[in-house]
Amino acid sequence: MRSRVLAGALLAIMLVLGAAACGDDDDDAGTTNGAADGASGTSDDGAADDGASDDGSAVAGEGVTITIDNFDFGEPVTVAAGQTVTVQNDDGPPHTWTAVDESFDSEAIASGASYEHTFDAPGSYDFFCKFHPSMTGSITVTG
């Protein structure tokens, strides 16, 4: 009898720890960066240039990086048509970057890996992770 109680308690602890490891924690949400790796620099006034305009949208000709961190895609992104978006997985497990309308699908992006997609058509694109459907986001492509 005592071993059954102990086994039940251990199972409950393992389930709680497992759920916490796969949970969604907004305290350390993912980040969205205005420049792809190697695309940042400095402006004429010496200030760092992150590839984003003052309103947070991407600067024409620059790439945008969406960083997956802590099961989160970060804030919505706005880019111009013709720009490339890089999705960087800084999480432990693999994720996908999949359009709800099926216009793009990264398949599995391993931890530490990235995926690039160039948006040619203006519009609003909602996306999610196939492995973790609660992970969602959106990108607006301007003409």
For position 42, what pLDDT does the model report?
A: 30
pLDDT tens-digit series, residues 2-26 = 555 444 544 444 444 444 444 444 3
Share of the chain above pLDDT 70, in %: 57
For position 63, what pLDDT does the model report?
A: 83
Give the residue among 99, 91, 101 at the shortest CA–CA distance from 68.
91
Cα 132 to Cα 8: distance, rounded to the nearest angstrom: 28
- All structural domains of the chain, each given as residue ranges with its CATH number in brackets, are 26-142 (2.60.40.420)
pTM: 0.60
> How many angstroms separate the Cα of 128 from the Cα of each of 71, 73, 101, 132?
11, 9, 11, 8
Average pLDDT of the chain, as a whole number: 73
DSSP 8-class letter at 100:
T
